[in-house]
Amino acid sequence: MQKYLLCRHGELTEGQSKGFSLGDSAAGTANVFAVMKNGEVFAYKNNCPHRGINLEWQEDQFLDPDGALIQCASHGALFQIETGECVAGPCAGDALTPVPIEYGRDGIYVLMAD
Ligand code: FES
């Protein structure tokens, strides 16, 4: 497991999603994304269980129009923000892969396998 600084406190705001390029991910290609909901941060691998591809078509756009669910841009699968469970779409019942986070003094860290 490797610990990476995901973002500084305040960089991710309520109701916002953001992609991050960590570790050996190609620059500019987000391999992790995070969402803040009710003051809590949830992070997942940027990998849709339907086809194993990135969820977003536009930078940092991982949510549905209401900001209530995570949405895959390719075929519209919808996932719960808190659990990553797919509640509608072609991979219903499957789930995103959570990435454990830690709150540090200077920011939010994620723990990822090497
Ligand atoms: S690749 Fe995500 S819904 Fe098909």
Which of 72, 78, 79, 87 has most ligand 1 atoms within 8 Å of its beta carbon, as the pocket-test mutant?
72
Q: By percentage, how much of the chain surpasses pLDDT 90?
A: 87
**Band of residue 102 on the pLDDT scale cut at 50, 70, 90:** very high
Q: Which domain holds residue 29?
A: 2-112
Domain count, the chain: 1
Q: What CATH code is carried by the domain that includes residue 76?
A: 2.102.10.10
Average pLDDT over every residue of 105-113: 91
Beta strand extents in the chain (DSSP E only): 2-8, 17-20, 32-37, 40-45, 69-71, 78-80, 86-88, 101-103, 107-112
Average pLDDT in the chain: 94
CA-CA distance, 114 to 107, in Å (whole number)? 21
pLDDT of residue 114: 67
- pLDDT 10s digits, 7-34: 999 999 999 999 999 987 877 789 999 9
- pLDDT 10s digits, 51-70: 999 999 999 999 999 999 99
CA-CA distance, 60 to 77, in Å (whole number)? 17
Check if the beta carbon of residue 53 is closer than 8 Å to that of residue 47.
yes
Burial of residue 7 (number of CB atoms within 10 Å: 0-12, 13-18, 19+): middle
For residue 71, the CA-to-ligand 1 centroid distance in Å is 9
